[in-house]
């Protein structure tokens, strides 16, 4: 990245400097209020705490995500806090050979891999899982029926998306809590700010997580099934020009993280906003046909992925701000989803909103999330089943909401409710 120089002649109190000074990328309390205060006057600013240019307006975020000629995605999954050499050496010893595939690679490699993966990860195939998803949710609901109070995150949202991922992987013998722990650890190592001692402890579990993904792929080579790794191996058919074995292992490893972490957070965010607004929850109970629109409004209003990253491949200008080649860019998806240029009264949560699906919660362009239809289906099933079973459900008063501490992912760590109001 080039050295950042302050534009000459601008007073320290100017909006540009104030935005950068006040930006707290790892703090989610007050995040939306902060972006609302700077978006109109400072669409792009430099955040010295992380060394990134932050893009806040929807039109600029959209343009950046769609322009893969000017912006590289390779930085997307690189640690925001660099890993010490001791950690890198240990991973090398453990044969941790995870590659950047899909969200963190550029064409032509991205094109080759996505074309294959999308033949399995698509809305048509996901629709076949709806009955299985509904049965899973009902099992979790049965476990809490009869209780007065429950933490929805711990009781349902934490495990359910991991169970869904394993439907795709064809696995039945697994511990969802262990997988979730591994996923949480990976998120913190890449998108959080762990200390060096925390990294040195976490790296052992990360290597075990990679080994698990590799073993799953190796098992499918011996006994293939109707699942994602078997599909990828069949497409490869021994040809590295199609897919290498390590790329397949990396795709499975990526699904083991991306396939559930964001949906756990999205479910927590959606239900938190509904519980905070009993009148909106009552609309869902009375009019189940609003569920699909409510899911989109939840994704817009309280995105589970609040920011993503790019690198300038050439000298670029965004909203009048010159950004040199090599500089790092944080596209603020959360800010874009609250942009009044697209959404009327954007700070209002409205399950009857006219255009909530214009949100960018799943990105845009060639890197749009392949799992978006599945996430939508999971949230739809959760909302339908829980609103039908617990129509009087209400938020427990006085609870402190603790958010995930990463630069990109946002969701409540717990959500306590009274099931019978």
Q: Does position 3 have pLDDT exceeding 80, yes or no?
A: no
Q: What percent of the chain has pLDDT above 70? A: 97
SS3 track for 196-242: HHHHHHHHHHHHHHHHHHHHHHHHHHHCCCCCHHHHHHHHHCCCCCC
Residue 191 is predicted with a pLDDT of 93
pLDDT band at 253; cut points 50, 70, 90 = very high
Mean pLDDT of the chain: 93
Tens digits of residue pLDDT in 140-162:
999 999 999 999 999 999 999 99
Residue 2 is predicted with a pLDDT of 38
Residue 174 is predicted with a pLDDT of 78
Least Cα distance to 129 among 255, 227, 205 occurs for 227
Q: Is the dihedral of CA 270, 273, 279, 280 positive or negative?
A: negative
Residue 284 is predicted with a pLDDT of 98
**Alpha-carbon distance 251 to 117, whole Å?**
9
Domain 15-418, classified CATH 3.30.70.2700, yes or no: no
Tens digits of residue pLDDT in 196-207:
999 988 999 999
pLDDT band at 261; cut points 50, 70, 90 = confident
Q: What is the mean pLDDT of residues 301-312?
A: 97
Q: Does position 345 have pLDDT exceeding 80, yes or no?
A: yes
Q: What is the mean pLDDT of residues 297-311?
A: 97
Tens digits of residue pLDDT in 347-393:
999 999 999 999 999 999 999 999 999 999 999 999 999 999 999 99
Q: Does position 421 have pLDDT exceeding 90, yes or no?
A: no
Tens digits of residue pLDDT in 89-144:
999 999 999 999 989 999 999 999 999 999 999 999 999 999 999 999 999 999 99
Residue 291 is predicted with a pLDDT of 98
Q: Assess contact for 308 and 34: CB atoms under 8 A.
A: no
Q: Does position 173 have pLDDT exceeding 90, yes or no?
A: no
Residue 381 is predicted with a pLDDT of 98
Q: Backbone phi, then psi, for 195, in 5-degree steps?
A: -75, 170
Give the DSSP per-residue string, 70-108: TEE-TTTTS-SSPPPHHHHHHHHHTT------GGG--TT
Residue 18 is predicted with a pLDDT of 87
Which residues, 6+ apart, have CB-to-CB distance to 342 below 8 Å? 58, 355, 358
Residue 347 is predicted with a pLDDT of 97
Residue 6 is predicted with a pLDDT of 41
- The tokens for 239 are 């040809």
pLDDT band at 175; cut points 50, 70, 90 = confident
Residue 5 is predicted with a pLDDT of 40
Residue 158 is predicted with a pLDDT of 93
């Amino acid at each position: 990245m080039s050295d950042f120089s302050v534009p000459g002649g601008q007073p320290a109190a100017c909006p540009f400097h104030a935005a950068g000074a006040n930006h707290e990328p790892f703090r989610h309390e007050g995040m939306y209020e902060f972006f609302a205060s700077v978006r109109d006057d400072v669409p792009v600013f430099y955040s010295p705490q992380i060394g990134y240019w932050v893009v806040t307006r929807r039109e600029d975020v959209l343009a950046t995500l769609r322009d893969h000629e000017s912006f590289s995605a390779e930085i997307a999954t690189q640690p925001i806090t660099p890993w010490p050499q001791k950690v890198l050496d240990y991973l090398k010893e453990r044969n941790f050979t995870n590659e950047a595939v899909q969200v963190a690679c550029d064409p032509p490699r991205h094109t080759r891999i996505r074309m294959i993966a999308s033949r399995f990860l698509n809305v048509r195939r996901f629709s076949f899982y709806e009955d299985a998803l509904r049965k899973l949710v009902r099992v979790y609901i049965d476990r809490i029926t009869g209780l007065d109070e429950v933490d929805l995150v711990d009781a349902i949202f934490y495990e359910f998306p991991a169970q869904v991922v394993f439907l795709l992987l064809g696995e039945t013998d697994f511990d969802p809590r262990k997988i979730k722990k591994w996923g949480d650890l990976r998120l913190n190592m890449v998108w959080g700010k762990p200390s060096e001692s925390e990294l040195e402890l976490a790296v052992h579990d990360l290597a075990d997580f990679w080994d698990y993904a590799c073993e799953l792929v190796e098992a499918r080579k011996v006994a293939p099934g109707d699942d994602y790794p078997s599909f990828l191996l069949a497409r490869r058919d021994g040809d590295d020009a199609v897919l290498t074995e390590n790329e397949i292992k990396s795709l499975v490893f990526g699904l083991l993280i991306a396939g559930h972490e964001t949906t756990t957070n999205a479910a927590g965010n959606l239900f938190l906003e509904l519980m905070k607004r009993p009148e909106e929850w009552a609309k869902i109970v009375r009019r189940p046909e609003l569920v699909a629109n409510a899911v989109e409004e939840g994704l817009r209003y309280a995105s589970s992925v609040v920011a993503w990253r790019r690198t300038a491949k050439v000298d670029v200008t965004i909203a009048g701000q010159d950004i040199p080649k090599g500089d790092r860019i944080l596209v603020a998806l959360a800010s874009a989803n609250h942009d009044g240029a697209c959404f009327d009264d954007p700070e209002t949560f409205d399950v009857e909103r006219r255009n909530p699906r214009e949100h960018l919660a799943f990105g845009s362009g060639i890197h749009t999330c392949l799992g978006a239809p599945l996430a939508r289906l999971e949230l739809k099933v959760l909302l339908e089943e829980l609103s039908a079973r617990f129509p009087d459900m209400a938020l427990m008063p006085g609870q402190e909401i603790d958010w995930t501490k990463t630069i990109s992912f946002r969701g409540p760590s717990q959500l306590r409710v009274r099931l019978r109001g």
